[in-house]
Amino acid sequence: MQADIRLHWALARLKFEDYWKAFWDINKAFALLEENAAKFPNFMPNQKDLGILHAVVSSVPSGVGWVTNLEGDLEKGKRELQQVIAYSQKNDFIFEQETYILYSYVMLQFGNDEDAAWRIINESKLNPKTSPTAAFVLANVAMRTGRNDKAIELLKNRPTSEAYYPFVYLDFMLGRAKQQRLDSDADIYFKKYLQQFKGQNFIKETYRRLAWHELLKDNPEGYNQYMKEVSEKGFVNVGADESALKEAQEGITPHIGVLKARLLFDGGYFQRAYNTLLLQSDQKFTSTKTQLEYTYFLGRTNHQLKHYDEAIKYYNSTVTAGRAQPWYFACRAALEKGNIFETQRQYEKARNAFQECLTIKPSEHKISLHQSAKSGLARVKGK
């Protein structure tokens, strides 16, 4: 029980990018799990937690690896979780649904396999019509695997009666999903979140999303007003709020066409995003950031449309032009280049690209991007 609590604290801290405390909890959890495994080698909850730990630690970013002595092994972690799921299918296992959820996130975050993540979560017995938490999990995986329409369906049909404790974050998620489809009513759900949420997180991000909503309506004054709220309200506890504040401080208004493409891409509408970018091809962008973002998303959309040669060309351009810039575009471009080479089984080129990602140090998202590059290196190790 103590190890399980430590593990869940670690996963929560990782979610909010508090890596130092996360790996301190991982160390404590691992010590307890090893002790328990020696006493009860066939105890399945123990194997569940070890599977998660082996997968997570396989991607420890450089600079924090000293915090944990646990040796990470992604494939070992996956095998352990598969064994737990196989056990749960034949036995009454209280942690069955939790194991499916965690295994899905392992495949998504560390295994770089979106289809597997979606398949696994759908094999669980989660019922989004009777559980807001189930709706959250399924919608979250749907949004992260390019199934935005499905996410909207799940979130709109979630239970909302007084019999359930309010889960206000789901309104923020629904607003985000609808904005990624360029729906005109996305702002309703963002405003509802601001009215009902009593916590600290995603306040700045919600105001930024409302600012984008105004910009998409060609209302720059409305954009500026909401970006002022980004500066003045909310806290900086999570990456999204930090990113929103940086945008407000930079004072660079997004290019409407590039913003539309970005949102469509995030929603998994890759052809629409690509077509939107092509409409901007004769533009002369006034800021380095916008030019980099445009080139970067040309790489991302070509990548998702399986135009791999074109994608690599734009990724290389992004890395060359953006390596010394503070934004994440170059670092992510190098990472995605590695993912393409891995897909093509060009493992040496994949290793080089993942290593290149680790040499680029943007001021935003660096640790999470380097974590993904480490996961990539773990996947291609020995190939």
Instruction: Give tens-digit pLDDT for 26-35.
Output: 788 888 888 8
- Within a domain: residue 317? yes
When divided into structural domains, the chain yields a total of: 2
Q: Within a domain: residue 301?
A: yes
CATH number at residue 292: 1.25.40.10
- The answer to whether residue 223 is domain-embedded is no
Q: Is the pLDDT of residue 71 over 70?
A: no
Taking residues 366-372, what's their average pLDDT?
90
Domain extent at residue 360: 260-383
Q: What is the pLDDT of residue 17?
A: 65
Which of residues 125, 144, 159 is at a domain's end?
Answer: 125
Whether residue 184 is contained in a domain is answered as no
Residue 75 belongs to a domain: yes
Q: Is residue 253 part of a domain?
A: no
Q: Encoding tokens for residue 48?
A: 């569940």
Residue 26 confidence (pLDDT):
79
Q: What is the pLDDT of residues 195-234, one digit of tens each?
A: 999 999 999 999 999 999 999 999 999 999 999 999 999 9
Residue 232, domain member (yes or no) = no
The percent of residues in the chain predicted with pLDDT above 90, rounded, is 78
Q: Which of 125, 153, 175 is where one domain is finished? A: 125
Average pLDDT of the chain?
A: 93
Among the candidates 105, 125, 145, a domain finishes at 125
pTM of the model: 0.92
Does any domain span residue 110? yes
Per-residue model confidence as pLDDT tens digits over 123-173: 999 999 999 999 999 999 999 999 999 999 999 999 999 999 999 999 999
The answer to whether 291 touches 314, Cβ cutoff 8 Å, is no
Quote the pLDDT of residue 24: 81
pLDDT tens-digit readout, 34-55: 888 888 888 999 999 999 888 8
